[in-house]
Amino acid sequence: MEDHFFEQIFKNPEEQPNIPSNTVISLWAERLIQVLFPENSANAFTNVMELKEYISVLELELYDIISASCKLKNSECKNAAGQFFEMLPELYRVLNTDIVAIYEGDPAAQSRFEVIRTYPGFYAICFYRIAHMLYNFGIALVPRILTEYAHSKTGIDIHPAASIGEYFHIDHGTGIVIGETSTIGCYVKFYQGVTLGALSVKKALAGSKRHPTVEDRVVIYSGATILGGETIIGHDSIIGGNVWLTESIPAFSTAYHSPIITIRNHKETS
């Protein structure tokens, strides 16, 4: 191999933002989640002061992560890190609504503790809500790293720019895809394999509303695919399994996939 190939590889990192690794960034979020929900943590704080000091460390780490990756000036990055942690009580409140939705919406859930410790849907929602808060500060790369990490762990792919209301319930979850410009209301429930996607992936459409809007109290069953930025699923609707939708439906609708069933003559199988 020629030297210019090795020189190109050697120089590549110099052309990229000098940000921490994906693992470091993701572990920061893991530690934050463990602070909010110690059911997932092996650490135990002996008093409130210790807890405050630990959160201060997490805030400084976030400042370092943001400073290395965002286009803002360092002073603005520091403000973003501070504002994020000022919003921590609100993040905690909203995540608790998701726990309620999952626990009350799944007969198999035995306790809040079980939801926090074992449900991939809640894990993915935690990472999404952290990433979404950071995204709203104009920080693009770090939120993507966080949601893609959760995607790799759970099979649930939520773009950090998507807007998702309170009491969000993901049941099972594997294979769910929620696109960048999706808007989801409150008290919405998704089963595995649901896709909120775009009708077209043309680069020229970047920045436009390409993904559907799902209003409040909608249930979408497994394998359903809903496409298009102008597609609106009216509130209190039910979307059945394997349904394919590219147009809006009104509130209180039920959309279902009708199977074709044929009965074979028993002599054909004998």
The identity of residue 48, as a single letter, is V
Which pLDDT score is estimated for 143? 96
Domains of the chain: 16-155 (1.10.3130.10), 175-270 (2.160.10.10)
Cα 141 from Cα 163, distance rounded (Å): 17
pLDDT confidence bin for 12, thresholds 50/70/90: low
Q: Which residue in 21, 91, 19 sits closest to 55, CA to CA? A: 91
Measured at the alpha carbon of residue 196, what is the angle toward residues 247 and 179, in degrees to the nearest 5?
A: 125
pLDDT confidence bin for 138, thresholds 50/70/90: confident
Instruction: Dump pLDDT digits (tens) for 226-257.
Output: 999 999 999 999 999 999 999 999 999 999 98
Cα 11 from Cα 29, distance rounded (Å): 30
In this prediction the pTM is 0.89
